[in-house]
Amino acid sequence: MRNNKQILEGSRAVALTIKNIAPSVVSAYPITPQTHIVEDLAKFKADGKATYEYVRAESEFAAASIIAGASATGVRVYSATSSQGLLLMAEVVFNIAGLRLPAVMTIANRGISSPITIWNDHQDAMTIRDAGWIMFFAENHQEAVAQHLLAYKLAEKLHLPAMVNIDGFVLTHSYEPVVIPTKAEVKKYLPNYKPKSGNYLDPSNPVTMGSFARPQYYQEIRQELHEDLTSSLKEIEKEYKLLQKTLGKNIATTEPSGLVDYYGPKNAKTVIVAMGSVVGTLKETIDKNRSVGLLKIKTFRPFPNQAVMDNLKRAKNVAVIEKAISMGNIGPLAGEVRSACQNKVRANIKSFIAGLGGRDITQDRIKKIINISQKDNHNNQAIFIK
């Protein structure tokens, strides 16, 4: 495959990828740091370079409602948001999953109020982690491109919505080398969306979507969503490998799994677990300390319990570094890791909270985390790194 790398802003890379995926309806409300994505998409439409219907909504709640309605008619849709915008969408985000609509969104992750911040952390995405969406987290621009292709393929195949999380400003506003697949290349992996009859609203074949559920039915409907989301782990791996085979690893990234990736020495006694753009800094730090390993989480929902356990089973100390806190408990990613490892991994798993509101997670702070993680005391509280 070709290797036409461009130096692009992260938001531009996402917008170009979405343009080539060719949704039928795009609807969004601008919010920092997501704005550049939807500005580019609006300009593509205004310049005649795209044929989608672009709807500038009056709020994020309206934008989510517009793509929900459009998706229910059987067309490919897209939206993007951040922070308070995602929270305003929350009701519709749950509805989209419950209706089994294959919507795709980009979340330019940003801290939530109060106090007000426009900078990056993952508290927005963690707030709606139980809505029923497939959730990817990208380390860099190229991974974000690949995950959007993967998101559409899985959403339309499994009738599950999917979101790609990219760190606000850190990725959305930075420039990196990236390969954007052409429309022709996209179609090799992601053909035009053609939903089956009965899965969308059609006057010639009426169906009920979002019906009233009595107690004797509601639990089974939610259970079905849970089980389908959980079982999508196998499909994520299958489609990730197909993406690599079809478009080449220069577009799909070279990592062997779409769920997690291990970096560093085999059988490391200390392993860091993290997701998002901080992984790049972690890799640079580990390159200077070859006794420490790194487990990158690429898919947060469904959570890859088995893959996490397999990669941590020989570790003595596990440091989970994340840009979110489950108030009154530990970090949400740390809670997931502990649950996956319970009674199966004997490692001392510590929860480290860093980078809230855009604070830099420097190599010095990472070294501090490594030192604390290697102490024998079992700390069940969240450890905030300043």
pLDDT tens-digit map of 275-331: 999 999 999 999 998 899 999 999 999 999 999 999 999 999 999 999 999 999 999
pTM for the whole structure: 0.97
Domain ranges for the chain: 6-249, 260-384
Closest CA to 255 of 279, 278, 231: 279
Confidence (pLDDT) at 3: 63
Residue 269 C-alpha from the chain's centroid: 28
What CA–CA distances, in Å, run from 268 to 203, 321, 328?
Answer: 60, 17, 31
Same fold? 6-249, 260-384: yes
260-384 is classed CATH 3.10.20.30: no
Q: Which residues pair with 349 in a beta bridge?
A: 318
How many C-alpha atoms does 365 have within 13 Å on its Cβ side? 17
Q: Is 203 exposed, middle or buried (0-12, 13-18, 19+ CB in 10 A)?
A: exposed
In this predicted structure, the answer to whether residue 2 has a pLDDT above a threshold of 90 is no
CA angle 233, 234, 235 (to 5 degrees): 90
Confidence (pLDDT) at 378: 74
pLDDT tens-digit map of 327-346: 999 999 999 999 999 988 88
Q: Which CATH architecture group holds 6-249?
A: 3-Layer(aba) Sandwich (3.40)
